[in-house]
Structures are given as structure tokens and as C-alpha cells.
Structure 1
Amino acid sequence: MIVKKLKHIDYPFTIFILLFALFGLVMIYSASFPMSSLFYGDATYFFMKQVQWFVIGFIFLVITAIVPYEVIGKLSALLVIASVVLLILVLVPGVGVERNNSQRWIQLSTFVFQPTEAVKLFMIIYFAYIYAKKQSYIDQFKKGVLPPLIVLAIVFLLVLQQPDLGTATMILLSCGIIVACSGVRFRHLILLASIAVAGFSYFAYSSPYRLERLTSFRQAFNDPLGDGYQLVNSYIAIGSGGIWGNGLGNSVQKLGYLPEAHTDFIMAVILEEIGVVGLAIIMFSYLYIMFRGVRIAKQAPTMFAKLLAVGLTFQLIIQAVINLGAVSGLLPITGITLPFISYGGSSLVFTMITAGLLINISATNHHKVN
């Protein structure tokens, strides 16, 4: 079974994913070496940690590319339970770790883990599996459509408590795309979309903190040393890069001016150092992943595989859009990382697992054709 799966692996797509992640490692080193030197006395501190996570992510990519995706689907109920447990644990004092006024991490000894990175993937697997099973009565709202949405609502509310409206919204959108592609009635889809928009609006405007995060990005220059500081420095980085950039390693904004330069604002450093060329590399890469993912979904042999491929693909694309929108000032700053590129162990590992599952489905498609 494993030998057959390896024979049909989509190696061009796999190599592309690995090269894209390696590009991320290069940019993480470039964006982080000043802070690494200043705080840790080692210019490679963040880079080497990310290399370790890359190796772990690669191992999981190989495993998820080989293990039959049907097996993973059968574990979906356990994955949902694990998601809820993790989201509760992160809110427990002494277990959850608070950073920047958000409690999004669990620390076990020296190991720090961000549960929402796992939850994003687990919910995609659960929704794809459960809606694939409901195909014979998908037109019945109460029986076919509603039950998984109750689980989604619980997860959404738990993520919101961290607080993390950006990730909660991303989970909502990714699962919503699966629902839209599952064959539900159009009127049910409109009803669900209306409820989602109303619910999002309520939670966004009911908290001063969330409202400020959603609106402050539009007036960044009104408070350039306060709420607008990060975005203003992102603009400076982007504007100084031009077409060809100032040269790899030559960013000025990463020298303490731009907060989170190697994490969610790494795109600003890329634009400053390699200019529009860097933007072209990033945009081409995500467009390629999107079109390749959609093609994998179209060719998938089962409804579960189709929905899973769609969910995995658009989860990556939605995350990229939210990050790039924040860096450019078109969307609120959420702290969401750029897939394959930003620093972050949990993010990289689960992004690699996502890619592994897409490679898995692609290999199955190729095997069925041949």
C-alpha cells in the first residue's frame, strides 16, 4: 500500500511546497537575525528553532501523505473532542499562556503549543467527513445541515474567548466553504450566511477591544506612535522596497522599528528587501496552491476527499489573504501568520500536515486514474 502510494505521489507539487517553505526559512533568518542577536546573543536563534519545526513538519507531511485519508476521516469525532478540550485548556489559568493580552498558547515544560493551529485543521477534517456522510439527506436542514454547525458555534465561541476573532472568523469561513460545496439547498445557504454575518457583527461590535482592532487600521496615521505604529512601519517598509527591493538582509524596519517582523508582518520585510519580485513570488505560490488544490478536489474519487481538499485549500488561501490584507492595511491586524512563511512552530507543522493531506488525495486521484 505504502509503495503504491509513493509511486503515485505528486512530486512536482510536493517539491514546490518544500521549496516554498524553504523560502520562508530564508526570509525568517533575514527578518529575525537583529532581534535574535539582541535578545539571545545568537543571530540564528529564531532561524534554528524554525528549522527544527520544519524537520518535524516534513516528517508529518510524509506521514499524512501516505496514511489513507479515509483513516484520518474516521478519527474526526475524536479530533473534534480534542479541539474542544484544547480550547478549554488554553483558558485555564496556569495552563494557558498569555501574550500581548491574548491567551492562545499552552506551555508544557519548554514546549509552547498554539491549539488553534490544530483546531483549524481538525474542524476541516470533521466538516468534510460529516457532510460527506450526510449526502443522502443533505437537503434536510435539521438533520442534514444543522448538527455540525452547533459544534462549529461552540468552537467559534471558545476561540473568541482567547480573544482571537481573526482565527475564529477563519475557521468559520473555511467550514462555510465546505458547507457551500456539500450540496445544501441554496435557501439554506443564504440563511446560514445571514446568521453568520449577523453573529460576526454582534461579536465584533459588542466588545470595545474587538471593535478597536477592527477599526483602528483605517486611521493608522492618526496615532502613528500608538495603535497605528505597526501598520505605519509596515507602510514604510513596503514603500522603501520599490520594484527590486533594497537587497536580501538590508531591511531597516526589522531593526526594532517593525514589531513582529519575522511573524505575522514578515511580508513587509520581504517587500522591503526584494520588492515587487518578492510579492510576485508569494502571490504566484498561493495562486498555484489554490488552482492545484481545486484541481485535486475536482478529480477526487469520493465526496469526503472532494470536501476535504476544498477545505484544506481554501483554509490556506483565506489565511494568506487575511495576513496580506493586514500587512497592507486593507484588513484589520489579527496576528494570523502567513502560511509556510511566517515564524511559528505550531503554524508551520500544521500547515505542512495540510499540504500532506492534499498530496495524499492527489496521489489517490492519480492511482484511481491509472
Structure 2
Amino acid sequence: MTRYSLTDLGWSDHFARQRKDVDAHLIPARISEVHRSQLVALSESGEHRLIPADSAGAYAVGDWVLTDGTTALQRLDPITDLHRRAAGHTVSDQRIAANVDTVGLVTSCNADFNVARLERYLALALASNALPLVILTKADLCDDPDDFRRKAERLSPLVTAITINAKDPEDVKRLNPWCSTAQTLALLGSSGVGKTTLRNALTGEAEATQDIREDDGKGRHTTTHRALRPTLAGGWLIDTPGMRELQLSGTSEGLEELFDDIETLAARCKFSNCAHASEPGCAVKAALKDGTLDQSRFDRWQKLRREDQYNSESIAAARARQKSFGRVVKEAVAKSKHKRGYEE
């Protein structure tokens, strides 16, 4: 088995500072896989199967933990943290990946390219404090791939976009600067856009790939769970299953960065609580009227802001209820013990 130094694994002063005043016998390890009842982690001494001290959902691939070799006793605060509202009816936050330097948002130069969906991914990436990189695959099957690249880069000055033929290993090497020398690149995107093909080229693995369905152009899931894997360039890659549901929560800062042009206009409105509907002195309405602000972009901004606020408030309320219920249970247990002691 290949052994890695802490530096190879992405260790930095940020984590070293958190290690101070902690039992010196505990070793740092980076989570490479998260399962229901155990974690797989990498350290200087090799691979470990760890028991999570908390629920498995509290950990994400890419996290650093301190361990005695058996249990993940302490999770260190991450530098970057990708998360979303959990899919389905559960009101909770789901961590996707941690300590990622760059989030590769993978879409393709065909019907999969969707501005509204790409903005969701961008808001998620920016809110995590990681760098966003739009990776446009299937460039070899498109007459003008640069047209898709320009559309992506117009979404924000913070966006870098690159067109790639995922089936050409030499072309994929253009991604090496984002996953070399201990840098971590995470791939996010829908099924069928070429994430697994990119992963194979970047890591040297031979994971099976599946064709997109002919009836609707959508892909089938190939990656079934998130995993941290070493790249041929000396860095790390986190591949993720295709996401068909991406609900934003806690991403207000990411939305502000992504829609900085609208946020700047909103700051010029006469009223600080302007809803940009019928208020006088609304700079946003003026921009919409003179055409300097696109109506569809404004509509997407409002929709994402409402969704993020609603989900964030719902998750906060759910956590408050859980804490309140926990206190009630503790008080009931304490009263029961006191009563038994009195009766005895």
C-alpha cells in the first residue's frame, strides 16, 4: 500500500493549530470514504477503518479527524465545506465534501447545459469558500464548444470554464493544475456528463462507465458513493454521484457573490428592505426597464434566495426542536432517577 505524508494528504497549519492541547497519542487522518457504520481514513501509517464517535452523517469525505487508530475521536474544523439540504422530505443538512480546493462543476456541451442548474452548483461552490471551475465535457461532439464556455463565464467574473474531451487522456491532463501537489478537486454534476470518465483519466482507475439513455438524454448513475482518491498528478479527487435534486441551504454568501451585479443594484435602492416590486426609487426595477439587467437572471436570483432562506430557516427550526426534545428527555430521565432514589 502507498504511504502518504501529512503534507501529501493536504495537511496545513489550519489543522495543526487545532491539534494543539490534544492528546499527543492521537494521529491525524483524512476521511476517504463515509459509510453507515464506519469511516475509511488515510494517515501516514496507512489506511484505517474507524468507528465514528458521532453519527456518520456528521462526517464528509475530505474531513480531517484525530484518531487512536480505532475511533474517529475528534473532527477538525474544515477549511471548505460543501453542503446542501438533504434530498427527500428530511429537514436536515447534508455534507457533500470537505477541505476541497476546487469544485469542478461538470456539465456537457449539449442539452445537459442548463444555466439555472449551473447557477445552483456555483452558489453551492462559492458558499463553501472553494474555487469554482466549470468543466464542459463532450467538446469533441460539439461544433462550437467555446460558445458554451463563454455562456458559463458570463455567469460570474469568479467563474473559470474549460472545455474538455473526457475520453482523451492528454486533453484531461489540462485539469492537472487543480489536482496536483496535495490539491483536492471535487467533481459535481448530473449523471451522464462524464464525471467517471474524467475520474478514470485523472486517477488511472478503470471504473465502469454507462452510456446516457437515448429516450431522454439523461445519464445513469455510475458512481454510487463519494470517495477520496489519489490522482496521477499528485493531488486528490473526490467524485460524487450524480445529483438530480439540489436544494440550497446556508448558501446566502455564495448567492451574493454569484449575483454580485444584482446585489450591487439592490444596495442603491431607496429603501433598504426593497422587494423590487412596486417600491419607488428601485434601482433593480430601473435596470430591468432599461435592459441592463436580464429579467430571467433576476427571476432566478429571487427564486434561489427564497429557496435558500426557506430551507435555512427550516433546518434551523428542526435543530431547535431536536435540542428542545433532547432537554425534555434528559429532564424526564433525571426526574425518574431522583424519584427511584427517593422511593428506595
Give the TM-score, by structure 1 length.
0.25
Q: Which one scores higher on RCO, CA 8 angstroms, separation ≥ 6?
A: 1
Is the helix fraction higher in 1 or 2? 1
Is the strand fraction higher in 1 or 2? 2
Give the TM-score, by structure 2 length.
0.26
Please tell me whether Structure 1 or Structure 2 has the larger radius of gyration of its CA atoms.
2
